[in-house]
Amino acid sequence: MIDHPDRPYRPRRLRATPAMRRLVSETRLHPADLVLPMFVREGAAEPVPISSMPGVVQHSTDSLRRAIAGAAEAGIGGVMLFGVPEHKDAIGSGATDPDGILNVATRIAVAEAGDALVVQTDLCLDEFTDHGHCGVLDARGYVDNDATNLRYRDMAIAQAEAGSQLLGLSGMMDGQVAEVRSALDGAGFTNTPILGYAAKYASAFYGPFREAVQSSLEGDRRTYQLDPANRREGLREIDLDVAEGADVVMVKPAMSYLDVLADAAASSPVPVWAYQVSGEYAMIEAAAAHGWIDRRRAVEESVLGIRRAGADAVLTYWAVELAGWIR
């Protein structure tokens, strides 16, 4: 645009006051667009703080009830539950046990939340295996894709029976969405939706999460999670998950993959969510604790940036606090 010599264009006119900036804002945050990840620890008598994630805890079943009530009161969209079992084995037996911690926590959360929240569950084996991988290992120690999908099928039915209202498939096995959809439909859970963690990258920013779920992982997950260098591959994975029946797709992590998120939002026929992961949370909290950044502004800006890039909803550990600021 060429300015008229006598009437120079001044974009600052629309930034002059808080009311004007609010009126012309292109992206807005709403509590309903936020999902709170929550950890529930088997055998815990009280909440257990996570040192690398200040303000986040491993809940006991009692504190989970209180936290679910608080989340519902805050008006956020939902919660994503992760289980922290006392015992692990090679195939993650606790994941399919109706009395395993995640399925117990799901029943508690559903009863407490009523219609106020969408109770979601992480469908992955990494919290439950003694080797810490997201699937079953073969004789060479390699994650067996198809054997793992059989475990996911059973896990999906167990979670649906516990009342989960959205299954978060985060394991990054090829064909996992199709397998789980088939299992759910075959068991009569045709109305249980699937969130496919379609573009989940092998990221360094998951570090604090390892403490949160007491991970047993040695090595890495680069043979099944996406290479951080690859943008187009993220879209290919999203397309595959949609074709297999995913009702929602995920980009994870969020802040370092905003290009992938924007690509997905521009092309996906289903809602696109993003997960602001533990390392993103920890970095802002650590910098704020040292007085290097304004904590509230940084939190708001980080989530706003994820929404601006195209996320229809954001999983964030600040969901309840941020909802309070918004309201």
Active-site residues: which are they?
200, 252
Question: Beta strand 118-123 with 78-84: parallel, antiparallel or unpaired?
Answer: parallel
Residue 1 CA to residue 147 CA, distance in Å, equals 59
Q: Hey, what amino acid is at 315? A: L
Tally of CA atoms within 13 A in the half-sphere of 162 that contains its CB: 30
Enter the tokens of residue 322.
Answer: 């941020």
Output the DSSP codes for 84-97.
E-S--BTT-GGGT-
Residue 36 CA to residue 39 CA, distance in Å, equals 10
Q: Hey, what amino acid is at 146? A: D
Residue 24 CA to residue 15 CA, distance in Å, equals 9
Going by C-alpha positions, the residue among 112, 107, 247 that lies closest to residue 166 is 247
Residue 160 CA to residue 167 CA, distance in Å, equals 8
Q: If you ran DSSP here, which 8-state letter would residue 164 be given?
A: -
CA dihedral 313, 177, 94, 148 (to 10 degrees): -140
Going by C-alpha positions, the residue among 197, 206, 294, 203 that lies closest to residue 251 is 197
The dihedrals phi and psi of 129, each to the nearest 5 degrees, come to: -95, 145
- Spell out the residues 6+ positions from residue 152 whose beta carbon is closer than 8 angstroms to its own: 123, 125, 169, 171, 173, 176, 179, 180, 183
